[in-house]
């Protein structure tokens, strides 16, 4: 089967316009109902020749605790590709409401380092629409190549949940997965996240989703307080794993309880050096030191 030609966008779409459009779309959806909502759009979106603003890169690196090297951090590339990922979920033929979707899981393969001097071709598509005990979930797959070449340097899969949305023709899993009890280990580190942590990450990532910006804007969307961006947390964990990860690795994270700001987050990172002493993987888990609730967990592993 020949894959469909991608939809090539002239520029990286504007996230704020996408968010506004998503709100309008949500209203439109309630009126119209003709589409077959059990299938996903098959077209991918692509932007070619994306360049990195070095001042933005440096600000990102400093905020996340990465050294300001010329290599793009894997989380920075996620932020770079994010508007394109949102644009695919913002299409009229995308069956789930974009606003209010929860980021459940994120999985990145950094196959080779990308430098800030590289121009990048970025593609995004959605796939794997499937049921979840609490709604419907979908994967957004983004791929990044050096402009004009075929090799994928960076590949990210973000799994989102549309809570409470059950589509006809999409099966629910037969039973809820067994909830693992979480017992907090001894922390190896603690983060002090200020109330401005969401705004600070929004400034370097471009993701100004109101649920992250302030108590008021979060309340307007039904949250009791603003919450930290999931990818901010995951990217800080990646930075904390450190340079031992090298230039090619996988990076997975599962998100659990949201991090309401301000707060302290306790973190444990454990590394497996393997028999030969070379680094194999680091596992991380983060939790609320007061309540003991797990915020997220994941791993960085050698590729």
**In the stretch 189-228, what mask flags binding to another protein with x, by CB under 8 A?**
----------------------------------------
Residue 97 near residue 26, CB atoms below 8 Å: yes
**128 vs 243, beta carbon nearer another protein:** 243
Strand runs (DSSP E) across 97-228, as ranges?
102-110, 120-132, 135-146, 152-163, 189-193
Site for another protein (CB under 8 A): which residue of 188, 243, 270, 291?
243
Residue 32 near residue 107, CB atoms below 8 Å: no
Q: Please tell me whether residue 280 binds another protein under the rule CB under 8 A.
A: no
Residue 116 near residue 70, CB atoms below 8 Å: yes
Q: Which residues ranging from 29 to 58 are in contact with another protein (CB under 8 A)?
A: 54-55, 58
Q: Least distance from C-beta 188 to another protein, angstroms? A: 13
Site for another protein (CB under 8 A): which residue of 17, 28, 62, 133?
62
Site for another protein (CB under 8 A): which residue of 4, 278, 291, 292?
278
Q: Least distance from C-beta 112 to another protein, angstroms? A: 15
Q: How far apart are CA 61 and CA 184, in angstroms?
A: 29
Render the burial of 162-185: b for 16+ CB within 10 Å, e for the rest: beebebeebeeeeeeeeeeeeebe
Q: Please tell me whether residue 244 binds another protein under the rule CB under 8 A.
A: yes
Q: Please tell me whether residue 242 binds another protein under the rule CB under 8 A.
A: yes
Counting Cα atoms < 13 Å in the Cβ hemisphere of 252 gives 10
Give contact residues for another protein (rule: CB under 8 A): 54-55, 58-59, 61-62, 67-70, 116-117, 242-244, 246, 277-279
């Amino acid at each position: 089967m020949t894959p469909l030609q991608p939809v090539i966008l002239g520029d990286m779409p504007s996230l704020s316009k996408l968010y506004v459009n998503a709100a309008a779309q949500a209203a439109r959806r309630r009126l119209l109902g003709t589409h077959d909502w059990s299938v996903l759009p098959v077209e991918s979106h692509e932007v070619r020749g994306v360049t990195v603003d070095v001042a933005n890169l440096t600000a990102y690196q400093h905020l996340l605790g990465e050294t300001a090297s010329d290599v793009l951090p894997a989380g920075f590339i996620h932020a770079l590709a994010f508007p394109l990922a949102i644009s695919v979920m913002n299409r009229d033929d995308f069956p789930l409401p974009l606003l209010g979707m929860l980021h459940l899981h994120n999985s990145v393969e950094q196959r080779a380092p990308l430098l800030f001097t590289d121009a990048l071709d970025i593609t995004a598509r959605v796939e794997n629409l499937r049921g979840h005990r609490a709604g419907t979930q979908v994967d957004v797959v983004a791929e990044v190549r050096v402009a004009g070449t075929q090799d994928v340097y960076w590949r990210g899969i973000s799994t989102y949940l549309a809570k409470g949305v059950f589509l006809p023709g999409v099966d629910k899993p037969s039973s809820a997965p067994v909830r693992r009890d979480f017992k907090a280990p001894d922390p190896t580190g603690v983060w002090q996240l200020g109330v401005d942590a969401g705004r600070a990450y929004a400034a370097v990532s471009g993701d100004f989703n109101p649920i992250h910006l302030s108590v008021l804007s979060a309340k307007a969307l039904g949250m009791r307080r603003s919450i930290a961006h999931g990818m901010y947390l995951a990217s800080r964990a990646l930075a904390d794993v450190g340079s031992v990860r090298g230039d090619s690795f996988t990076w997975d994270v599962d998100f659990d309880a949201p991090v309401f700001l301000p707060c302290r987050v306790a973190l444990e990172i454990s590394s497996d050096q393997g028999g030969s002493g070379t680094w194999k993987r680091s596992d991380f888990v983060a939790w609320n030191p007061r309540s003991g609730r797990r915020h997220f967990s994941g791993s960085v592993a050698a590729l």
